[in-house]
Amino acid sequence: MELIAATPAHESLLSNLLQLYIHDFSELLRLKLGPDGRFAYPDLPLYWSEPSRFPFLATVDGAWAGLVFVRQIHGAANDAPTWDMVEFFVLRGYRHRGIGTRLAHLAFARFPGAWQVRVIEANTTAALFWRQAIEIYTHATREPSREILNNAAWQIFRFDSRP
């Protein structure tokens, strides 16, 4: 299992994986297809033009298994940098086998420091996944804060990934 830094040459692959990811979210959010029959993800090019963004492809036994997008943001507390899990997607065939947890841990280890993981509150399966993945990694119970962002309720897990 690997997290591979994605390059502009991977843009088409990432775009295709994002279609599957966004389709999963269409159960929870009012997302509409564009006139071309695809979901829009206008931020994808920013992952190669902004140095604070990091796109990854996930592989399992050499096969594509998902994607991880991380961004460094500056938090409110002393403007300290925080790693933000922007997008995290594991193909359905790789779910419920511990693969997502291991991929999340690879991301946490790659970027040691303060982290935040945002989960839309309606996505109870994802909230449970993140609670468990973070608790296993940090060896501590994590309670998310609840915030309203863009007219939707979110659970936000905050923790430090340093050993």
CATH of the domain at 69: 3.40.630.30
Q: Does residue 22 belong to any structural domain of this protein? A: yes
Residue that wins the pLDDT comparison between 57 and 163: 57
Q: Does residue 161 belong to any structural domain of this protein? A: no
Q: pTM score, two decimals?
A: 0.94
Total of domains in the chain: 1
Question: In the predicted model, is pLDDT for residue 46 greater than 80?
Answer: yes
Q: Whole domain around residue 18: which residue ranges?
A: 2-119
Q: Does residue 10 belong to any structural domain of this protein? A: yes
Residue that wins the pLDDT comparison between 152 and 86: 86
Question: In the predicted model, is pLDDT for residue 3 greater than 90?
Answer: yes
Three-state secondary structure call for residue 104: helix
Q: 10 Å Cβ neighbour count for 84? A: 20
Q: Does residue 104 belong to any structural domain of this protein? A: yes
Look at residues 14, 13, 24, 4 and name the one whose alpha carbon lies nearest to residue 95. 24
Q: Does residue 95 belong to any structural domain of this protein? A: yes
How does pLDDT run across 97-133, given as a tens digit for each residue? 999 999 999 999 999 999 999 999 999 999 999 999 9
